Amino acid sequence: MIDFQSTQLLNATVYSSTTERQMAKLAALQPRTLAIMHGSSFAGDGGNAIRNLASAMKEVLGNTR
């Protein structure tokens, strides 16, 4: 994410006042598999993975909006 912020992909991922709450709702579902549209799937503790992503998003993108 940090690298993207210094390229044409600047702010390609939206971070708004509701992002943290929505990510917490997704993490609470405790998924065991996460799949993205164009990439590998993740199998494991999906709730923890989402919480880690939410934390990174807040750190990198939270102050840009």
pLDDT tens, residue by residue, 12-54 = 678 888 999 999 999 999 999 999 888 899 999 999 999 999 9
CA distance 26 to 43: 15
pLDDT at 6: 67
Give yes or no for residue 64 having a pLDDT over 70. Answer: no
Residue type at position 59: E
Can you give the residue ranges of every domain in the chain?
4-61
Report the residue count for the chain: 65
Residue 61, classified by CB atoms within 10 Å of its CB into exposed (0-12), middle (13-18) or buried (19+), is buried
Q: Residue 32, Cα to own-chain centre: how many angstroms?
A: 16
